[in-house]
Chain A
C-alpha cells in the first residue's frame, strides 16, 4: 500500500482579482512539513484549500486520498488550527473543546474524555474550567491546538502553531508533533521562525507570490541549487593568512574577511576538497577555532530563493 500523501495538482485560486495561489503542484508525504514564505505569499490560502474551507478555481486536491469537496469525510481525519485568536468568549477551555467534539457526533461522555485528554497533552488541565477570555495569549494558542487534536486526526493543518508559546511548551509541542510524524500522520505547519523549521521539519515547502519555489527535504533542496556555491563561516586567529592559503585552492570562488579580522566567509564549489584543505591548514599550525556551514539551513534557502529585503 502506498503511503498516503497530500497531493495538489495544478491548483489555482484567485479572490476576484487578488491572487491566492497560482498553479501549485505538491506531493507531501507523511511527517512534519513546514510551509515557509513571506506574508501574503499564499500560505493561508493553501491551508484553507487543504481543509476545504475554500475550493480551487482550477486543479484538484487529494488529502490522504480524500477530496476536500467531501468535507464530512475530510474533517473527520483533519485537525485545523488558524492563526487568529478566535475562541468564543463565553466558553471555558473545557466546554470549548467538548462542544466541538459533540459536533463530530461523539456522545457526551466520550467527548468529555477526549477533551480532557487533549487538554492534558497541552498542559491546560489547571485552567480548563476558566473562561478562555481570561487566558493569556499562550494559553489561548494551546486551547486552539487542543481543539484541533482532540478527535485524534490523521492530518493536522496548523497555521503558526508555536506563535506566542514559551520555550518549554514549544519544546513539548514539538515533541508531540514528532510523535505523530513517526506514527505516519501528516503534520503540516506554517512558521516564520526558520531556525525552528530547520530543527523539526522533515520537509519544507517554500512559497512566494502564490507559487511554490521549492519543495523537499532541506538537504536535497540545497543540493539542487547548483548555481550557488557552498558557504562556510570560519573563526580563526590569523584570518588573512588563512585566506591567502585558501585562495590558492581552485575550488574557492570568494572569500570575505570579517571586520574583526578573526573570521572569514568562504564560498567554495567543492565541499569535500574544501574540508581537506581546511584540515591541512589546521595541521600546519593555523589555529582554526570554528567551522560552520553557513547555508544548509532554511534561512539561507529563503535568502537565495525568495530574497530578503
Chain B
C-alpha cells in the first residue's frame, strides 16, 4: 500500500437503513494514510455520521457505490482490514465480569497479536491511558471516565494504523477530557496512527484534527484542511482594549483597516493585505489604550461550520450572508 492511499475513499456511496436512505451518494477522499493525521467528522444529528462510520467498519452494506478504508473495500475485504483498525464506539461497550487486563488482552489476541505480546501490550496500554492502578479490577466496577479509557485502550492495543473514535470525550469531566485529547494527539504525532474522530464539540475537533469533514442530511457539505485555514486567517484580528475606545472606530481607517465593536472593549478588525499587526499596536498606543487581548481569529471551525449549515454568518469586511445563500 503506497503512502498516497487515502485513509477513507468514498465513491458515490449510498446506504439505506431499513427503508430510509441515509447517505445519498457521497464521494470524497480523506487523509493520506501512514502520515499520522487526524480527520474530524462533524455534523448535526441525523446527518449520517454514525451510518458512515458503521459502513466504513463493514457493519452496514452500501446499497450503491463504494467505500474504501485504508485501501480495502468495506463491503468485501474487511477481514484483512480489521486487524489494522481500532474502533471506540460512542455507547458503553465492555464485558462486565472481566478485569481490564483480561479484557484488553483478549481483544488484542483477537486482533492478531500473539499471546505473550498481547499480555505485554495490554499492561502497557492500560498504564498509558491512566488505568494502571485499576487494571486488575473488573470493568463493571469502573466509573464512566474509566470505562471510556478502557474503551480507548482496547481500540489501540493492537497498534492499528487507523483508529476510529466516536464521541471520545462524551461524559468526561474536564481533567479526563484534557487527558483524552492529549492521548489522541499523542497517538497521531508520536505513534503515527491515523485518527478519525466524530464529535459534536467543535473545540475538541479544532484542537486535535488536521482535516475536517462536515456532513448534513446524508451528504458532505464541506471538507477543509484546518492547517490551511489557520494559516490563512492572519488578516482577521480580535482585539480587547482597556480605556476609552470611543474614537477607535473612526481611527481605524488611518491604518487602512475596518472593524466592528462588540462592546466591553472588544473589537473585530479586518486588516487589508500588506498591513501588519504592528499597525494596530501603533494605533492603540496613539489612542492611549492598553491591549488586554489580541488574537487572530480562533473560532475558525465554528465559523466554517455555521457557513456550511447555511446559517447567517457575518464577518466584518464581508457582505452579510443571507440564510440559504452560500
Stretch in B23-31, B61-69, B95-103, B279-287 with 4+ CB within 8 Å of A: B279-287
Interface residues on B, range: 35 or more
How far is it, in angstroms, between the C-alpha of A269 and the C-alpha of B230 when the chains are bound? Answer: 32
Interface centre among B44, B179, B276, B281 (most CB of A within 10 A): B281
With an 8 A cutoff between CB atoms, is A213 at the interface?
no
A158 nearest CB across to chain B (Å): 15
1/0 contact string of A188-208 vs chain B (CB within 8 Å)? 000011110000000000000
- Pick from B278, B290, B292, B295: contact of A287, CB under 8 Å: B278
- A288 / chain B contacts, CB cutoff of 8 Å: 277, 281, 294
Contact flag A282-B281 (CB < 8 Å), given A38-B175, A163-B170: yes
Contact flag A290-B177 (CB < 8 Å), given A39-B143, A167-B305, A282-B281: no
Q: Do the beta carbons of A192 and B45 come within 8 Å of each other?
A: no
- Pick from A166, A272, A308: contact of B44, CB under 8 Å: A166
- A194 / chain B contacts, CB cutoff of 8 Å: 174
With an 8 A cutoff between CB atoms, is B120 at the interface?
no
| Additional pairs, 5, CB under 8 Å, beyond known A167-B44, A308-B174 | A38-B174, A138-B45, A193-B177, A275-B291, A292-B294
How far is it, in angstroms, between the C-alpha of A193 and the C-alpha of B144 when the chains are bound? Answer: 16
A selection of 8 A-B contacts at a CB cut-off of 8 Å is: A38-B174, A160-B171, A279-B281, A279-B290, A282-B291, A291-B291, A291-B295, A307-B175
Q: Do the beta carbons of A289 and B201 come within 8 Å of each other?
A: no
Q: With contacts defined as CB atoms under 8 Å apart, how many contacts are there between chain A and chain B in the complex?
A: 108
Q: Do the beta carbons of B45 and A139 come within 8 Å of each other?
A: yes
1/0 contact string of A68-100 vs chain B (CB within 8 Å)? 000000000000000000000000000000000
Contact flag A167-B200 (CB < 8 Å), given A276-B290, A290-B294: yes
- B306 / chain A contacts, CB cutoff of 8 Å: 167
Task: Give the 5 A-B residue pairs with the shortest CB-CB distance, closest first.
Answer: A275-B290, A282-B281, A138-B45, A166-B44, A291-B294
Query: Which chain B residue has the least Cβ–Cβ distance from A287?
Result: B278
A145 nearest CB across to chain B (Å): 14
How far is it, in angstroms, between the C-alpha of A168 and the C-alpha of B284 when the chains are bound? Answer: 36
- B90 / chain A contacts, CB cutoff of 8 Å: 137
Q: Do the beta carbons of A282 and B45 come within 8 Å of each other?
A: no
Q: Do the beta carbons of A291 and B293 come within 8 Å of each other?
A: yes
Q: Which of A133-153 contact B (CB under 8 A)?
A: 136-139
With an 8 A cutoff between CB atoms, is A293 at the interface?
yes
B contact residues vs A (CB 8 Å cutoff) = 42-47, 50, 90, 130, 143-145, 167, 170-179, 200-203, 242, 276-278, 281-282, 284-285, 290-296, 302, 305-306, 309, 311
Q: Do the beta carbons of B203 and A195 come within 8 Å of each other?
A: yes
The main secondary structure of chain B at its interface with chain A is mixed
Q: Do the beta carbons of A192 and B242 come within 8 Å of each other?
A: no
The main secondary structure of chain A at its interface with chain B is mixed
1/0 contact string of A168-180 vs chain B (CB within 8 Å)? 1110000000000
Contact flag A166-B45 (CB < 8 Å), given A272-B290, A275-B292, A293-B292: yes
Q: Do the beta carbons of B281 and A283 come within 8 Å of each other?
A: yes
- B293 / chain A contacts, CB cutoff of 8 Å: 291-293
Q: Do the beta carbons of B278 and A192 come within 8 Å of each other?
A: no
How far is it, in angstroms, between the C-alpha of A165 and the C-alpha of B43 when the chains are bound? Answer: 10
A104 nearest CB across to chain B (Å): 29
Q: Do the beta carbons of A40 and B281 come within 8 Å of each other?
A: no
Contact flag A290-B296 (CB < 8 Å), given A163-B170, A170-B200, A279-B284: yes
Query: Which chain B residue has the least Cβ–Cβ distance from A134?
Result: B18
Q: Which of A243-296 contact B (CB under 8 A)?
A: 272, 275-276, 278-279, 282-283, 287-293
How far is it, in angstroms, between the C-alpha of A195 and the C-alpha of B172 when the chains are bound? Answer: 14
Query: Which chain A residue has the least Cβ–Cβ distance from B90?
Result: A137
How far is it, in angstroms, between the C-alpha of A131 and the C-alpha of B175 when the chains are bound? Answer: 36
With an 8 A cutoff between CB atoms, is A17 at the interface?
no
B182 nearest CB across to chain A (Å): 10
With an 8 A cutoff between CB atoms, is A224 at the interface?
no
Q: Do the beta carbons of A38 and B277 come within 8 Å of each other?
A: no
Q: Do the beta carbons of A163 and B171 come within 8 Å of each other?
A: yes
Q: Do the beta carbons of B144 and A39 come within 8 Å of each other?
A: yes
Q: Do the beta carbons of B170 and A279 come within 8 Å of each other?
A: no
How far is it, in angstroms, between the C-alpha of A38 and the C-alpha of B145 when the chains are bound? Answer: 10
Query: Which chain A residue has the least Cβ–Cβ distance from B177?
Result: A192
B143 nearest CB across to chain A (Å): 6
With an 8 A cutoff between CB atoms, is A227 at the interface?
no
Query: Which chain B residue has the least Cβ–Cβ distance from A170?
Result: B200
- Pick from A40, A169, A290, A293: contact of B143, CB under 8 Å: A40
Q: Which of A114-148 contact B (CB under 8 A)?
A: 136-139
Q: Do the beta carbons of A289 and B277 come within 8 Å of each other?
A: yes
How far is it, in angstroms, between the C-alpha of A279 and the C-alpha of B287 when the chains are bound? Answer: 12
- B130 / chain A contacts, CB cutoff of 8 Å: 309
- Pick from A168, A192, A291: contact of B173, CB under 8 Å: A192
How far is it, in angstroms, between the C-alpha of A168 and the C-alpha of B214 when the chains are bound? Answer: 12
How far is it, in angstroms, between the C-alpha of A39 and the C-alpha of B171 when the chains are bound? Answer: 9
Q: Do the beta carbons of B46 and A193 come within 8 Å of each other?
A: no
- B295 / chain A contacts, CB cutoff of 8 Å: 290-292
Contact flag A39-B281 (CB < 8 Å), given A165-B200, A169-B44, A278-B291: no
How far is it, in angstroms, between the C-alpha of A240 and the C-alpha of B241 when the chains are bound? Answer: 25
Q: Do the beta carbons of A308 and B175 come within 8 Å of each other?
A: yes
B126 nearest CB across to chain A (Å): 16
Q: Do the beta carbons of B46 and A136 come within 8 Å of each other?
A: yes
Interface centre among A137, A276, A307 (most CB of B within 10 A): A137
